[in-house]
Structure 1
Amino acid sequence: MKTFKPNFKLSLLAAAVTVSMPAFANTNQQAEIDSLRQEVQALRALIEQQQVQQTQTSQAVAQIQEKSPVAPATSVATSTGTAFKVYGNVRLDASYQTEGSAVDRLYNNINKVPLEGNGEASERFKSTLAATRLGMDVKSQLNGQDVGGKIEVDFLGGANFDNLRIRHAYMNYGNWLIGQTWSNFAVPDYMPETIDALGYVGGAVTRTPQLRYTQNLGSDTSLVLAAEDPKDKISNTRIPAVTARLNHQINEDGRISLRALANEKRTDADESMAWGLGLGLQYKFAPSTTLKADYYHVKGDSSFVSWTNPGISKNAAGEILDENEFDSITVGLTQQFNEQWRGTLGYGYMKSDVSDRYKTGAGLNLLEVNKELWQGWANIFYSPTKPLSFGLEYVYGEREAVVKAANGSNTGEDNRINAVAIYNF
């Protein structure tokens, strides 16, 4: 809006004319002076009106600015509109192992703990910072729609869990996701909380390269379809595994997830089809009490659910003799005592149907093929402030192999105390 500024020269001229009126007091001059005086008065009235309008406009603009919401600031934003958020943690894990797995292994290895009297790693203290994590989220706009990405790494790679590895690396646009993240079939959402970075038997912590599509079927239900590369070392991959997951929010306290898997297993001489079903439940019985449970039934696959026997057994010619079939379940109750303290009681179990034909497969170490696995645990977490968390946990578990060792034992034991200290940023 253009503002009107008073002409001070004109005002001075009008004043001079008014002062000099007595010197030119004749009829014509008086008429001209009266006319000039009226024009000056009209001009002054216009100036005053413009000043009032300008003041009112300024006040209105100030009120609008005061009421307008302020957009939250992002961590880092570029001139192109791309926002970056860096996050992660520094994590120290420690364990005192009464009986358990190999000397260089701190995290869960229940399916391969030594059988009694066969080289157990007893009375050992272990520690590592390998689960320390660093990640970055990226977000921008493309054709008016959000485009996002994530990169997350830790140091749990390699045979001894001490090398940098990719946890998550993906991009998403609309309903599509491309990259590596949690498997669409073996999701960790319904595993009870543990201190062990790999979780316990009955659950899964699998991440796969995948192409994923999500479709909302309503305000409380969604369907997720994915083609995944399970990177199964015992199968010559020809086509990706196909997975489906149906998520449903029961109410504000509970949700369920139904999953399905189809995965071709192929050798140089043979092929078969693996399949599986999964069902997860989370339910909050009270504001501070949460139940989590997860169940799987799988035949012919070992690349999605953790701590299983090899999915297929084959002879020296590569012909598939039989498939491993198993049921597994994990269930746990978490209690939030107050803002700083919480604890979990959990139990996990896996039972495999191992045929005699399966046992004759070439290359199988039958001392590491299991009939049953189970683990129980109890933990407590203390968070004095938001970035810090300290935890202590006791876990006991056993495995039963399908054959006995030379000393007659077919049972291995996992018995340890875990501790963790985490600084999140």
Structure 2
Amino acid sequence: MIVKRKRAPLLVASALSVTSTLAFAQDAETQAELDALRARIEALESTGPGTTPGEFKIGNTTLDVYGYVKADFFYDFEFDQGDTAFVNVIGEPSAATDGTFGATVRQSRVGLLTTTPSAIGDIGGQLEVDLFASNGTAEFRLRHANIRIGDNWLIGQYWTNFQPLDTYPTSVEFNGPVGIAFARVPQVRYTNSFGANTSFAVSVEENVSGSNSDDPVLTASAEYNDGTYIARAAALYGKAEGGGVEVDQTGFTLSGSVRPWQGGLFQVNYVNGEALGPYLIGLGDPVVGGRANDVDGYTIEFRQDLGEKWNVGIAYGKEDYELPTSTGTLSFTELETIHVNAFYKATENLTLSAEYIYGERNDEPTGRTFDGNRVQVAAQLNF
């Protein structure tokens, strides 16, 4: 189990966010919903013998089922981006459209949290699946499967330690902005804290799909989070392969957020490194022409609560690669996205949302730029 102060936000993110391959993307909810799930997880952690506030027990193991049912409806104007608003297809002749309507329920998911007292501390477990299988089919896909031992150890599949969970932008669609690290991988992670607000973590992880390497990845992170201010730094080292050439895969992320006034939130994320494309939403090639493909990316988000039921926001993301990545008939070195969204909390568990998404990418050999526009609405019932 992660340190209790950190475990609730991390599990909230895994339950409500995404936002990987590219289908490992982010779909975080409004702050009110996040707070509700934090309270639920904290209740699970504090449950003792004979007390089951909303959960149930098998022997001395406390269990809690969570998840949501989500229906998305979207319209692509210039290029059919699919269920996941895949900006990389913008410009591809095969994706060109005069207007395409689509709908999906594949973002729906279900998870199970467990807590079992033991002589070495509480042992927690998490198992989570969604319906985002490959090739557009609605089949179960594993998202998280991990064991947490005491306050320090996590073993199994979870968000990479390289990813900035607490400052991840909010979106209605599944991917969220480009320009940020996002992956779920098998790992062994050790977490500890300094005082009430500062923690660090180190991990040994499997490399992500697309890096084409069997070598382990090493990560380290440190974070300060007092509820108003967040500052985080993370680093990664591994290997990537392409065209029979192996290169170093290195990078760092810097993240921060502030709540400047009641209901307001401003946050930024920056990532830089070499051969990091498979870790980013844009999925740029890690190795091109026998060289590591350097990349930097960033996201900027502003959100504001409007009363108790409404929450609105805008997020900008950008990825800039040194070498071009081929996608079908075209290639790119730069991707940009803008997400403008609104969430309405109709009831305690039901949220309605709407979003406008703008995506842009360049075709490196010709110097041409393509853009695509999309609107999306959704209804989500949490349980």
How far apart are the structure 2 equivalents of 1:199 and 1:365? 20
Aligned to 2:297: 328
How far apart are the structure 2 equivalents of 1:89 and 1:244? 32
Aligned to 2:5: none
> Does the CA contact (< 8 Å) of 2:132 and 2:141 recur in 1?
yes
> Does the CA contact (< 8 Å) of 2:128 and 2:142 recur in 1?
yes
Question: Which residues of 2 match residues 72-91 of structure 1 at below 5 A?
Answer: 73=53, 75-78=55-58, 80-91=59-70
Q: Deviations for 1:85-132, whole angstroms, at most 9, x for unmatched residues?
A: 011111001101112235xx12121123234x6651331110000001
> Does the CA contact (< 8 Å) of 1:132 and 1:154 recur in 2?
yes
Amino acid at match of 1:291: F
Report the 3-state secondary structure (helix = DSSP H, G, I; strand = E; otherwise coil) of the residue aligned with 2:122.
strand
Q: TM-score, normalised by structure 1?
A: 0.74
How far apart are the structure 1 equivalents of 2:280 and 2:193? 26
How far apart are the structure 1 equivalents of 2:354 and 2:264? 19
How far apart are the structure 2 equivalents of 1:343 and 1:260? 32
How far apart are the structure 2 equivalents of 1:110 and 1:180? 27
Query: Which of 352, 368, 374 is equivalent to 2:321?
Result: 352
Aligned to 1:391: 353
Aligned to 2:73: 94
Structure (1 or 2) with the greater strand fraction = 2
> Does the CA contact (< 8 Å) of 2:75 and 2:376 recur in 1?
yes
Question: Which residues of 2 match residues 133-172 of structure 1 at below 5 A?
Answer: 133-143=109-119, 145-160=121-136, 162-172=138-148
Within the alignment, does 1:295 sit opposite 2:270 as a pair? Answer: yes
Query: Which of 203, 217, 223 is equivalent to 2:194?
Result: 217
How far apart are the structure 2 equivalents of 1:291 and 1:365? 33
What's the CA shift for 1:72? 5.4
Amino acid at match of 2:147: M
Report the 3-state secondary structure (helix = DSSP H, G, I; strand = E; otherwise coil) of the residue aligned with 2:278.
coil
Amino acid at match of 2:349: P
How far apart are the structure 1 equivalents of 2:335 and 2:370? 10
How far apart are the structure 2 equivalents of 1:133 and 1:419? 18
Structure 1 residues 297-306 or 386-395, which shifts more? 297-306
Query: Which of 159, 165, 171 is equivalent to 1:182?
Result: 159
Q: 1:265 to 1:203 in 2, by over 3 A?
A: closer
Aligned to 2:256: 281
Report the 3-state secondary structure (helix = DSSP H, G, I; strand = E; otherwise coil) of the residue aligned with 2:88.
helix
Aligned to 2:4: none
Report the 3-state secondary structure (helix = DSSP H, G, I; strand = E; otherwise coil) of the residue aligned with 1:159.
helix
> Does the CA contact (< 8 Å) of 2:181 and 2:281 recur in 1?
yes
How far apart are the structure 2 equivalents of 1:288 and 1:374? 27
What's the CA shift for 1:264? 1.3
Structure with bigger gyration radius: 1
Q: 1:145 to 1:379 in 2, by over 3 A?
A: same
Amino acid at match of 2:257: Q
Structure 1 residues 415-424 or 224-233, which shifts more? 224-233
Report the 3-state secondary structure (helix = DSSP H, G, I; strand = E; otherwise coil) of the residue aligned with 1:327.
strand
Q: 1:344 to 1:313 in 2, by over 3 A?
A: same
What's the CA shift for 1:216? 1.2
Within the alignment, does 1:420 sit opposite 2:378 as a pair? Answer: yes
Q: Deviations for 1:24-83, whole angstroms, at most 9, x for unmatched residues?
A: xxxxxxxxxxxxxxxxxxxxxxxxxxxxxxxxxxxxxxxxxxxxxx955351112x3101
How far apart are the structure 2 equivalents of 1:163 and 1:180? 19
Amino acid at match of 1:417: V
Question: Which residues of 2 match residues 234-383 of structure 1 at below 5 A?
Answer: 234-237=211-214, 239-249=215-225, 251-266=226-241, 269-314=244-289, 321-354=290-323, 364=326, 367-383=329-345
> Does the CA contact (< 8 Å) of 1:101 and 1:114 recur in 2?
no
> Does the CA contact (< 8 Å) of 1:230 and 1:304 recur in 2?
no
What's the CA shift for 1:349? 1.1
How far apart are the structure 1 equivalents of 2:235 and 2:358? 31
> Does the CA contact (< 8 Å) of 1:74 and 1:83 recur in 2?
no
> Does the CA contact (< 8 Å) of 1:180 and 1:207 recur in 2?
yes
What's the CA shift for 1:269? 4.8
Aligned to 2:208: 231
Report the 3-state secondary structure (helix = DSSP H, G, I; strand = E; otherwise coil) of the residue aligned with 1:416.
strand
How far apart are the structure 2 equivalents of 1:347 and 1:422? 24
How far apart are the structure 1 equivalents of 2:328 and 2:79? 19
Q: TM-score, normalised by structure 2?
A: 0.82
Unpaired runs of 5+ residues, structure 1, are: 1-69, 315-320
> Does the CA contact (< 8 Å) of 1:367 and 1:402 recur in 2?
no
Amino acid at match of 1:377: H
How far apart are the structure 2 equivalents of 1:96 and 1:286? 35
Report the 3-state secondary structure (helix = DSSP H, G, I; strand = E; otherwise coil) of the residue aligned with 1:247.
strand
> Does the CA contact (< 8 Å) of 2:276 and 2:295 recur in 1?
no
Identity of aligned pairs, percent? Answer: 26
Unpaired runs of 5+ residues, structure 2, are: 1-49
Query: Which of 88, 92, 105 is equivalent to 1:129?
Result: 105
* Greater RCO, 1 or 2 (C-alpha within 8 Å, sep 6+): 2
Aligned to 1:66: none
How far apart are the structure 2 equivalents of 1:227 and 1:113? 36
How far apart are the structure 2 equivalents of 1:166 and 1:368? 32
How far apart are the structure 1 equivalents of 2:112 and 2:327? 41
